[in-house]
Chains A and B, each alone.
Chain A
Amino acid sequence: MRTYLLKRFAMTVLVLVLVIVYLTLLVHVVPGDPAKSLLGPRANPDLIAKTRAAMDLDKPVLVQVGNAVWKILHGSFGTDVFTGRSINELVGSALPHTLILAWVSLGLAVVIGVPLGVYSATHPDSWLDRITAVISISCITIPSYVGGLFLLLLFAVKFKVMPAIGLGEEGNVLDYVTHLILPAVALAITWVGYLARLIRASLLEVLNQTYIRAAMAAGLSPRLIFFKYALKNALIPMVAVLGVGIGNLMAGAVFVELIFSRPGMGTLIYNAIQGRNFPIVRAGVLTVAFLFVAANLLADLAYTYLDPRIQLDKVRG
């Protein structure tokens, strides 16, 4: 187990270093000078030279990559050449909004999706099970941007019962929560479907296991069997899926943040891409990639912890 952990951790660090290398080399793929495309066609040569120096572009490519890896591994994304602000600060102010959005969406998906899946599994082939199946498949097929647009259209434009854009008044928690509802639901819809189907399938599998039948034969109460033995084991696959889920939700947040004009990592990256501000693109994408990889790693570890029968170092090819 310890060998596996060390190997997995080393792989994660290696992958992240490679991601930094890709993102640093990326500016060289763009036709033209990245400093010029950031400053616009009217920028004077002095300013361009200063910006090139600030972006490390005046150094050989290998030095640029080495500097970038060194700085980022020491926790610094550098300074935004446009505003003079620290990029860490920009990421730090955007990240909490995306994390809150992703976690609230995931929470909503669990609260709605798990009971739906449990109901379906405990009433297999009933007409309500079939309706739940259609609802979960339909949820999966609704992309977050379509869900977001429909919610915006219905609740903000047509009935005007929900706020349409922004984060709400600063310092007003209730207003913040009200502004969070539509984006969080838009992002959660797909995951409600995924979780309902996953829980149904894994619960049905667990309920057919011999140990459950043995517990029934021994005369244990159905409630005890269901909650203590069946549901607990059926929820384990969900942990692995949630690890991937939180990363995907952060990526899906790009659409939802833009539709609801919310600040966050999606908006930060999108605006930086539009403005060709590559240092910010690099910092934003790297932060999302880091969280994505970390969530997968944590899910893997939690999976092994929850079910000691899984020996990942033997399973991985």
Chain B
Amino acid sequence: MQYVARPSSRYQQFLNRIPILGDVLRQPLGALGSVIVLVFMLTVLLAPVLAPYEYAQQDIPSMLQGPSRAHWLGTDHLGRDLLSRIIYGSRIALGVAIPAVGIALAGGVVIGLTAGYAGGIVDDVTLVLLDSVQAFPAVILALVILALLGPSLVNVIIVIGLAWTPGYARITRAQVLSTRQHQYVEVERSLGASQKRVLFLHILPNVVAPLLILAAMDLPVVITFEAGLSFLGLGVRPPTPSWGVVLSDGFNFIRHSPWPITWAGLTLIITTLGFTLFGETLRDVLDPRLSGSRGT
């Protein structure tokens, strides 16, 4: 039998050389997600270069125009270039999502490790407190807190971090409970290892992988959540170009121009789709046991 080198073999060799990302890129939907995430990241990095105008630059005579050579995606009610606002909006999306998920992750790990390792009354009280925070649907919790603190970028980050913390705390706690039953942890303990050593050297590393996967999956959820709060006027304040603010401006002028809603909505959907596909493929690659919930 004659061996025929397939045209994709060089690409396959390239993928073999990249440990985790290579496996993600091998899946068609994972590759699509990776491309969208890459484009999004480049947009965030190169926003000032890519945007044809300043995001707040007004041109009242050109307001609410459709796509044209001067304004590829059209303009909003103040004549601001929609493309530039959407490009700069990517910075707000990521600028809120990463610190918010970071706060939730850090808070969740501390609470979950403490509750899971201490056990007893500490664990019981922590569970009741987590339940009581999770009794509020996230949107409602965010609405109430933002109404008190006032709308701003920092407050949105804090609120999302707070709303997401119980989820991470629960997963950390469950991982701690299961890991501490393992024989190697018991052996370590019987050899006289300190609590600190067991907790940070043996339990924490086992907890980190599922949490990082969860964090990757949460990024798109947080991006849409932030845009939703800004749409309600409780998140980022105008003229800062959050995609939610562009949607909200477009909603006020929905009968005059469909373009702000169309472009901001599509951008939000495509970005979320990209992160979701990437996150899910990454999860399947890193932890195939969890892939049952994936429908692809």
Interface string of B163-178 (1 = CB under 8 A from A): 0000000000110010
Q: Which B residues are CB-close (under 8 A) to A200?
A: 295
**B191 contacts the other chain (Cβ, under 8 Å)?**
no
A141 near B174 with CB under 8 A, answer no
Q: Which A residues are CB-close (under 8 A) to B220?
A: 141
B269 near A146 with CB under 8 A, answer yes
Q: For residue B139, give the distance in angstroms from its CB to the closest CB of chain A.
A: 4
B136 near A254 with CB under 8 A, answer no
Residue of A nearest to B271 (CB): A141
**Residue among A15, A198, A259 with the most chain B CB within 10 A?**
A15
Residue of B nearest to A197 (CB): B295
Bound form: Cα–Cα A134–B224 in Å: 19
Stretch at the interface among A149-157, A177-185, A306-314: A149-157
Q: Which B residues are CB-close (under 8 A) to A18?
A: 128-129, 132, 135
Q: Give the B interface residue count (CB, 8 A).
A: 44
**A226 contacts the other chain (Cβ, under 8 Å)?**
no
A252 near B255 with CB under 8 A, answer no
A149 near B261 with CB under 8 A, answer yes
B137 near A137 with CB under 8 A, answer no
Bound form: Cα–Cα A129–B33 in Å: 19
Q: Which A residues are CB-close (under 8 A) to B268?
A: 143, 146
Q: How many A-B residue pairs have CB under 8 A?
A: 134
A153 near B262 with CB under 8 A, answer yes
**A305 contacts the other chain (Cβ, under 8 Å)?**
no
Which B residues, 230 to 277, have Cβ-Cβ distances below 8 Å to chain A?
231-232, 247, 250-251, 254-255, 258, 261-262, 265, 268-269, 272-273, 276-277
Residue of B nearest to A147 (CB): B265
**A211 contacts the other chain (Cβ, under 8 Å)?**
no
With contact pairs A142-B269, A149-B261, A201-B295 given, residues A269 and B140 touching in the complex (Cβ less than 8 Å): yes
Of the candidates B137, B177, B258, which one forms a contact with A250 in the assembled complex, judged by CB atoms under 8 Å apart? B137
Bound form: Cα–Cα A134–B250 in Å: 28
Stretch at the interface among A22-30, A56-64, A70-78: A22-30
Which A residues, 146 to 202, have Cβ-Cβ distances below 8 Å to chain B?
146, 149-150, 152-153, 157-158, 196-198, 200-201
Bound form: Cα–Cα A288–B136 in Å: 8
**A48 contacts the other chain (Cβ, under 8 Å)?**
no
Bound form: Cα–Cα A276–B296 in Å: 46
Q: Give the A interface residue count (CB, 8 A).
A: 58
B136 near A285 with CB under 8 A, answer yes
B228 near A143 with CB under 8 A, answer yes
With contact pairs A141-B276, A146-B269 given, residues A201 and B148 touching in the complex (Cβ less than 8 Å): no
**B143 contacts the other chain (Cβ, under 8 Å)?**
yes
B247 near A157 with CB under 8 A, answer no
With contact pairs A11-B131, A141-B276, A270-B232 given, residues A19 and B136 touching in the complex (Cβ less than 8 Å): yes
Bound form: Cα–Cα A22–B224 in Å: 27
Of the candidates B129, B147, B265, which one forms a contact with A149 in the assembled complex, judged by CB atoms under 8 Å apart? B265
B254 near A157 with CB under 8 A, answer yes
Known: A16-B135, A137-B295, A201-B294. 9 other contacts (CB 8 A): A11-B128, A117-B295, A133-B295, A143-B224, A146-B224, A197-B293, A254-B143, A289-B135, A289-B136
Q: What 4 pairs across the A-B complex have the smallest Cβ distances?
A: A197-B295, A251-B137, A18-B132, A141-B272
Listed by A's residue number, 22 A-B pairs whose Cβ atoms lie within 8 Å are A18-B135, A19-B132, A133-B29, A136-B295, A138-B273, A146-B268, A149-B251, A149-B254, A152-B254, A153-B262, A157-B255, A197-B294, A198-B293, A198-B295, A200-B295, A201-B292, A254-B139, A255-B139, A270-B232, A274-B147, A281-B144, A292-B137
